[in-house]
């Protein structure tokens, strides 16, 4: 009776399984793919223009202040 309860019925129990090496290969492939994706993204970002034609210039490069950028007067602070 004890031998019947002690049987292993959880599938293949062979020694030297391939789960470890297979997992390592998958992780290495993911790392290599991530490195190539990052390099490709950096190359594409370098090729972008600094400004697009329809885009207004940044705030720090404007010569005159915009309508809402005026500094308040000392009278208005009270």
Note whether residue 26 is domain-resident.
Answer: yes
**3-class state of residue 38 by DSSP:** helix
> CA-CA distance, 47 to 41, in Å (whole number)?
10
Note whether residue 30 is domain-resident.
Answer: yes
pTM for the whole structure: 0.48
Note down the domain range covering 43: 21-47
CB 24 within 8 A of CB 31: no
Note whether residue 76 is domain-resident.
Answer: no
Note whether residue 71 is domain-resident.
Answer: no
Residue 18: φ, ψ to 5°: -105, 10
Note whether residue 15 is domain-resident.
Answer: no
Note whether residue 29 is domain-resident.
Answer: yes
> CA-CA distance, 76 to 78, in Å (whole number)?
6
* pLDDT tens-digit map of 4-55: 677 766 766 666 678 888 999 999 999 999 999 999 999 999 998 888 888 7
Provide the number of structural domains found in the chain. 1
Note whether residue 34 is domain-resident.
Answer: yes
């Amino acid at each position: 009776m004890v031998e019947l309860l002690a049987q292993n019925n959880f599938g293949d129990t062979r020694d030297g399984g391939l789960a470890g090496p297979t997992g390592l290969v998958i992780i290495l492939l993911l790392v290599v793919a991530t490195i190539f994706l990052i390099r490709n993204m950096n190359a594409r970002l370098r090729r972008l223009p600094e400004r697009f034609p329809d885009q207004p210039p940044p705030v720090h490069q404007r010569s005159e202040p915009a309508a809402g950028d005026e500094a308040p007067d000392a009278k208005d602070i009270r």
